Structure 1
Amino acid sequence: MTTSTRSDTNVNAAAVATFLIFAMNGLVFASWAARIPAVTEALSLTSGQMGTLLLCTAVGSLMALPSAGWVVGRIGTAGTVRLAGIVAGAAGAAIAFSLMAASVPGTAIALFFFGIGIGLWDVAQNIEGADVEHRLKRTIMPQFHAAFSGGAFVGALIGAGLSQLGVGLPEHLLVIAGLAVLLALTVPRYFLPHEASGVETLDDGAPAPKGPTAWRDGRTLLIGVVVLGATLTEGAGNDWIAKAAVDGLGTSEATGALLFALFVAAMTGMRFLGGKVIDRFGRVAVLRASMAAAALGLALFVFAGNVVLAGLGAALWGVGAALAFPMGMSAAADDPKHAAARVSVVSTIGYVAFLAGPPLLGYLGDQTGIHMALLAIGLPILVALLLAGVAKPLRAK
């Protein structure tokens, strides 16, 4: 009984720690995303040029993501989050100083390393979250992602408030960078212990092939395609709602940040409710309903003629974007023996869209206006809806 109690306590502590790490990740990301209009103004950039800067973040993350599973295997999820927090915090400070100097190259380099830190952080927290969910034996991954959205919501509100007060983005980022490093160094001490990368075994006890095995698993790759479409939906909202509101509706920067906050708030609320919704209606049905809601919300936001309707569209868009990524992580982790490798693969595929898609929308925005360019994500949403059946839970063996 003592061992069981200690084990339950450890898992619960790990769940709280994972929740906090997700929340801090969201706060860091939104502190940047909510004030992208301020960056374009400070550096005198067009939407396409801003897209290039965002692409620097994407390149950094996409270079880090494929090796993230290996890094976790070597130093564990706790060690990886600590490393990622230091890298992201240092990069955040570098972004701040580059903006003070109005240096586009300096900002680009800093964003590259910011992307590396965020990429490592994301994969590590999702592997930890999948492990905690498996040990708790109930759907909790959406709540971890709700913590990310909640942190992003707080970050967006802080960004809107500081913008309204005239506080500069560099000062804002310096404070956030210090907080990120502090939490990343302390909170992971409560993570579950992870053994160093060993030899995985198959059902007959034979050693499993290393490296690309998960990349050859058809179900894992299709889940990755679904997550790719879903994360493009979320990433486009995170990066461009504030800017699209300013350009398309003629709102102020503060109002644009508030619409972004509304998008994130809706996503956060749905993620808190998501576990119960998924357990009741099933993963596939909820995934299909999510993509349909995202498509409807996107259309309403783009074609709305006023802030009220745009706000309603942003909220519905956020509801639709809420659950697809956490459901993809849970689906990838259905087989505990291969969970870490498959979660890493699906995360990598998903973040290709999450990080690389929004910059490409920026280039398209130079031709059509960023407001109308958002319609381009309708096709990936449809693909995710059509392939939703691959997320059906595996039968227990």
Structure 2
Amino acid sequence: MSKKELILRRNALFAVFLLPGMTFASWVSRTPEIREILDISTAMMGWIIFGLAFGSIFGLLSANRFILKTGGRFVIISSIIFLSIGLSIISIGILIATSTIVFLGLVLFGVGYGLVEVATNVEGAKLEKIAKKTILPALHASFSAGTLVGAGLGALAIFIQLPIYIHLSFIIVIILTIVWSAYRFIPEGTGKFIITNEKIKTPLKVNLWKEKRTLLICLIVLGMAFAEGSANDWLPLAIVDGFLVEPTIGTAIYAIFLSAMFLGRISGGYFLDKYGRVIVLRILAGLAIIGLTLVILSTNLVFASIGVALWGLGASLGFPVSLSAASDDPRGAVARVGFVSVAGYLAFLVGPPILGIIGEHIGLINAMSIVLVLVIIAGIVSHSAKELKMTD
């Protein structure tokens, strides 16, 4: 592969990594208004968000099978179509103020979200091998940049009082245009090659439930992914309800969280290489603990905003570092990475709706205490992510 082809392929992946983040943040940025339009409680909003969790888990668990048969590029294109159809149905549900239709739209949206998360990471891993340099952290930073773009467009849409269905329709046009422009630079069959090759190279069967280190890594990813997912699903609403501010302010503070996540991911590689996983994870867990405590206990929006920034920075590297730790031992690495990934995405996607149901009774801000406890546990067991020194 020529240098020019490699650059085009890399840039295409950067563009594709933006899309799930942008669409997800576009939905989240309008959730305070959506709740009002549907005239539902916080608990009912939590049940509706379960549609997203359900669809995403289906997409995540079935992605490898589809990639094996069709290759990563086809799955990426299909997943973006699912995201677009899901957003369209959500828009219709909001337009006619029907919760059931919004729920169904979120299910399809979730399927696309789960599929694209796996397929893009498969493509990114393959590109990393070809380029012989670390690329995945920067690609994940591109996802975070997408969330920033989505939140920014959401804040603008709220400011100019753009109807939600028009806003989401605009997002659909953007993501379809980007994937149409980028897909030709992503080769066919990448995923099939990787999965087949991994199966040949890694025939070892492992009992993951008996591996102490793997289970402790799952605790790290559970705490950190839950911290990230809870903010993504509930932060705008929590700020609106907890501090009695306008939706525009809630979305702006959500953008602070996303900016901190992006900063942590774009700079994380340097600190991980210099200081190692354990020290970095412990410091980040400490920052997240301080940040969440400020958000939960503060009655001042400025201090809460500082807390949100620390929360985002602290949660930024938990997921990717856990996946790297799970892959240290090449014998059974695929099984371990898959196991940790499912744990992380379950926390990221299923945990927040449960938080919403609890938040109906004690308030969303107070419900974040559950997130705080899990982050504390993640910090305590962070030693399990220490790099393994493999011998021949």
Same fold (TM over 0.5): yes
Aligned pair 1:106/2:104, yes or no?
no
Contact 2:154 2:251 (C-alpha < 8 Å) held by counterparts: yes
Aligned pair 1:248/2:245, yes or no?
no
Contact 1:34 1:239 (C-alpha < 8 Å) held by counterparts: no
**Which of the numbers 65, 68, 71 marks the counterpart of 1:76?**
71
C-alpha deviation, 1:45, in angstroms: 1.1
Distance change (3 Å), C-alpha of 1:22 and 1:107: same
User: 2:313 maps to what in 1?
Assistant: 319
> CA separation in 1, counterparts of 2:319 and 2:233?
17
Contact 1:287 1:324 (C-alpha < 8 Å) held by counterparts: yes
**Which of the numbers 379, 385, 392 marks the counterpart of 2:379?**
385
1:5-60, CA deviations, whole angstroms, 9 ceiling, x for partnerless residues?
x3555444433222222212111110001111011011001110100011111011
**Which of the numbers 343, 349, 352 marks the counterpart of 1:355?**
349
| Mapping of residues 119-268 of structure 1, within 5 Å | 119-191=114-186, 193-196=190-193, 197-198=195-196, 200-202=199-201, 207-208=203-204, 219-268=213-262
* One-letter identity of the residue aligned with 1:310: A
> CA separation in 2, counterparts of 1:167 and 1:280?
46
> CA separation in 1, counterparts of 2:22 and 2:207?
34
Distance change (3 Å), C-alpha of 1:102 and 1:96: same
> CA separation in 2, counterparts of 1:98 and 1:272?
37
- The number of residues matched between the two structures is 387
User: 1:300 maps to what in 2?
Assistant: 294
Distance change (3 Å), C-alpha of 1:265 and 1:40: same
C-alpha deviation, 1:371, in angstroms: 1.3
> CA separation in 2, counterparts of 1:61 and 1:127?
17
Distance change (3 Å), C-alpha of 1:132 and 1:106: same
Secondary structure at 1:201's aligned position in 2? helix
Secondary structure at 2:126's aligned position in 1? helix
C-alpha deviation, 1:338, in angstroms: 5.7
C-alpha deviation, 1:246, in angstroms: 0.7
Normalising by structure 1, we get a TM-score of 0.90
Contact 1:72 1:80 (C-alpha < 8 Å) held by counterparts: yes
C-alpha deviation, 1:126, in angstroms: 2.2
Most deviating of 116-125 and 222-231: 222-231
Contact 2:119 2:191 (C-alpha < 8 Å) held by counterparts: no
**Which of the numbers 33, 38, 41 marks the counterpart of 1:43?**
38
Aligned pair 1:285/2:283, yes or no?
no
1:281-319, CA deviations, whole angstroms, 9 ceiling, x for partnerless residues?
112221221111111111111222222111111111111
> CA separation in 2, counterparts of 1:79 and 1:148?
20
* One-letter identity of the residue aligned with 1:30: A
1:322-379, CA deviations, whole angstroms, 9 ceiling, x for partnerless residues?
1111222333344568665544332222110111111111111111111111111112
Distance change (3 Å), C-alpha of 1:162 and 1:301: same
> CA separation in 2, counterparts of 1:18 and 1:214?
32
C-alpha deviation, 1:132, in angstroms: 3.1
C-alpha deviation, 1:182, in angstroms: 3.1
> CA separation in 2, counterparts of 1:227 and 1:147?
20
User: 1:364 maps to what in 2?
Assistant: 358
Distance change (3 Å), C-alpha of 1:346 and 1:314: same
C-alpha deviation, 1:258, in angstroms: 0.3
Contact 1:57 1:355 (C-alpha < 8 Å) held by counterparts: yes
> CA separation in 2, counterparts of 1:135 and 1:72?
19
Contact 1:91 1:113 (C-alpha < 8 Å) held by counterparts: yes
C-alpha deviation, 1:217, in angstroms: 6.2
> CA separation in 2, counterparts of 1:216 and 1:13?
43
Aligned pair 1:27/2:22, yes or no?
yes
Most deviating of 275-284 and 258-267: 275-284
Distance change (3 Å), C-alpha of 1:345 and 1:72: farther
User: What RMSD over aligned residues (CA atoms) do the two structures have, in Å?
Assistant: 2.3
Aligned pair 1:271/2:270, yes or no?
no
* One-letter identity of the residue aligned with 1:355: L
> CA separation in 2, counterparts of 1:133 and 1:215?
30
> CA separation in 2, counterparts of 1:42 and 1:266?
30
> CA separation in 1, counterparts of 2:118 and 2:207?
18
Gaps of 5+ in 2: none
Distance change (3 Å), C-alpha of 1:158 and 1:288: same
> CA separation in 2, counterparts of 1:267 and 1:37?
22
Contact 1:215 1:345 (C-alpha < 8 Å) held by counterparts: no
Most deviating of 356-365 and 298-307: 298-307
C-alpha deviation, 1:221, in angstroms: 4.6
Contact 2:67 2:192 (C-alpha < 8 Å) held by counterparts: no
